[in-house]
A and B are shown apart, each in its own frame.
Chain A
Amino acid sequence: MKNFKFLIALWKANLQAAMEFRSAFLTQVIFMMVNNGAYFMFWVLYFDKFKAVQGWTLQDMMLLYGIVATAWGTAAYFFGHFTTLAEVITQGRLDYYLSLPKPVLLHVLASRSIGSGMGDIIYGIGSFIISGYLTADGVLRFAIAVFTGVCIFISFLTIIQSLSFWLGNTVALSQIALSAVLTFSLYPSALFNASTKFVLLTIIPAALIGSVPAEFVRAFTWQSPLQISAGAFVFLLLAVTIFHSGLRKYESGSAIQVEV
C-alpha cells in the first residue's frame, strides 16, 4: 500500500512535468495514434486481398494491435525507464535512487514517463473497441491481457538490461531485444513453426504479450489465461531477482548526477 501511494505520487509528478509542455505532450500523443494507424494500414491492405490467414481476420488483428499497443503504452507512460534501464546502470545514475529509502527498481522504472505512451493507450483501446470484441466479459479479458502484457514487457526488458551489471554496456543488445519482442508480438504466432512458437513463449515472450492474450479475448479457454498469468509471474520474479542480484555488483562512477 505504501509503495502504491509512492507510485501515485511519482505518476502525479510526471504528469505535472508533462503538463508544463502541454502542446508538446499533446503532439506526441496525437502523432503516435496516427503512427499506429498508418502502420495498421498494412493489415487493411493485406486483408483486402486475402481475407484471413490461419484463422486470423482483420478484426482479430485489430484486437491484437489493441492489446499490444495498450500494454506497451501503459508500460511506456507509467514505467518509462523500462526501455532505458541499461543506460541508467552503465552511466552510474543508479546512485540517486540508491540513496533514497524507496524500492530501487520500482523507483527507477516509474521515474520516467514517455508521453507518446498515452497515444498508444488511446489507440489500443480504440482498436479494441472497433475490433468487435467489446462485451462485458470481453472488457474484463482485455484488461487481464493488458495487465499481463505490461508485466511481461517490463520484466523481459528489465532482465535483458540488468545484464549491464555484469557485461557493461548492453544498450545495443537491449535495442535488439526490444525490437524483437515488440515486432514479434504484433504478428499471430500461428504463422510460425513449432520451434519458433516455443521461443516466442519462452526466450522472447512475444506470443505471451500478443497472440495468446488475443486468443484469450477471442474465445475463453482455461489454457490461455493460465499461460499468460504464469508467464507474467515467472518473468516478474526473474526480473526482480536478477536486478537485485546485479545491484550487488553495481559500482558507482562517482559522477555528479541530477535527476529531474
Chain B
Amino acid sequence: MKKYLAIITMQLINNIAYPGDFLGRSISIGIFLFIFAGLWGTTFRIAGTDSINGLTFANMMWYLMMAETIELGRPRTNRIISEQVKNGEVAYILNKPYNFLMYHFSFGVGDSLLRVAMNIGVGLLAAWLLAGPPPSLLGWGMALVTLIGAWILHFCMMALIGLAAFLVEETNSFELIYQKFVFVLGGMLLPLDMFPEWLQGIARALPFPYMMYTPARLFVKPDVELFWQMLGVQWLWVIALVFLLAIAYRGSERVLTVNGG
C-alpha cells in the first residue's frame, strides 16, 4: 500500500510545480458557469417561476458547478495507457513490482486531487458570485462520499478505453464518445430531472448518472433516503466495472507484444 501512496504523493508534487497552469485550466469552469447563468437566468425569467422540476436557479448553478468540477477533475488514464502502449513504455511499467492497474489508479488519484481542489476553488467563487451562497454542509458531505464512487467509475471507463490501445491504434475517438454520453445521459449539461420520463428511465439503467448526476444532485438537494439508494446502485456499478476491467486487463496482457527497445 505504501508504494501506491508514494505514487500518489509523487504525482501530487509534480502537479504542484505548475500551479499557474492548473489555475488557467480551471478558469474554463468560470466561463461555463457564466454562460449557463445567462441561459438559466433567462429561462427562469421567461418561465416566470422560481423552480423548474424541483430545482431553483441557485440549485441549477451549484449543480452545474459540481458537475463541471467532476468532468474537469476526472482521470485521463486512457491517454496515458494508450500512449504507453503505443510507444512501448508499458514494458517498463509491467516489470516493476506493482500492479499495472493500481499504478494507474494511484497516478490518477494524485493527478486529480489538485485539479479537483482548484476546480472547486474557482467554481465556488464563480457560482457564489452568480447564484449566491453554496448548499448546506449535508450536501457537501453527500457529494464528497458519492464523488469517490463517481471517480472510480470514471477511472474504470478511462482505463478500459486505454486498454483498447492493445487492440486498436487510436483510442481518442472512444473517449470523445464516452465524454458525450456522460454529458448527456450522465446529466452534466442538464440534470436528469429535466429529461422526459422515457429518457430518464434509459439513463438510470446505465452507469453514467452515477458518475455525474448522483454527486451533483445530492449536493444541491441532499436527501438521506435518496443518498443511500444512489450510493447502493453506484457501488454495484463500481463492482461490475472493476470486474470488467480486471477481465479486460488479463486479455490485454495476452495480446501484448514488446519488440525489444
| Contact surface of A with B, Cβ cutoff 8 Å | 24, 27-28, 31-32, 34-35, 38-39, 41-42, 45-46, 48-50, 53-54, 172-173, 175-176, 179-180, 183-184, 187, 190-192, 196
* Least distance between B34 CB and chain A CB atoms (Å): 8
**B177–A191 touching, CB < 8 Å:** no
- Assess the A183–B184 pair: CB atoms within 8 A: no
B183 touches A179 (CB 8 A): no
- Report Cα–Cα, A45/B195, bound state, in Å: 7
Contact A38 B181, CB 8 Å, known A172-B25, A175-B25: yes
Interface of chain B residues 24 through 67 with chain A (CB within 8 A): 24-25, 27-28, 31-32, 34-35, 38-39, 41-43, 46-47
Closest to B188 in A: A42
Contacts A50-B47, A173-B24, A175-B25: A38 and B180 contacting too (C-beta < 8 A)? yes
Cα A191 to Cα B46 in complex, Å, equals: 11
- Asked whether any CB of chain A lies closer than 8 Å to the CB of B225, the reply is no
Chain B residues within 8 Å of A, Cβ to Cβ? 20-21, 24-25, 27-28, 31-32, 34-35, 38-39, 41-43, 46-47, 169-170, 173, 176-177, 180-181, 183-184, 189-190, 194-196, 199
B39 touching A38, Cβ below 8 Å? no
- Provided the pairs A45-B190, A176-B28 are in contact, do residues A27 and B42 lie with their beta carbons within 8 angstroms? no
Q: How many A-B residue pairs have CB under 8 A?
A: 80
User: Given the known A-B contacts A172-B21, A191-B38, A196-B38, are A179 and B28 also in contact in the complex, defined by CB atoms under 8 Å?
Assistant: yes
Question: Could you tell me the dominant secondary structure of chain B's interface residues?
Answer: helix
State the CA gap A31–B170 with chains docked (Å).
12
A44: nearest chain-B partner, CB-CB = B184
**Distance A165 CA – B194 CA, assembled complex (angstroms):** 48
* From B21, B169, B190, B196, contact of A42 by CB (8 A): B190
> Which residues of chain B are within 8 angstroms of A28 by Cβ–Cβ distance?
173
- Closest chain-A Cβ to B28's Cβ sits at a distance in Å of 5
Q: A35-B177, A187-B35 are in contact. List 16 more A-B contacts (CB 8 A).
A: A32-B176, A34-B176, A38-B177, A39-B183, A42-B189, A45-B194, A45-B199, A48-B196, A49-B194, A50-B43, A50-B46, A53-B46, A173-B24, A180-B28, A187-B39, A191-B39
Partner of B38 from A32, A175, A187 at Cβ < 8 Å: A187
Given A38-B181, A46-B190, A183-B31: A27 and B38 interface contact (C-beta under 8 Å): no
Give bound CA distance, A175 to B43, whole Å: 30
**Residue on A nearest B173 in the bound complex, by CB:** A31
Closest Cβ of chain A: how far from B86's Cβ, in Å? 13
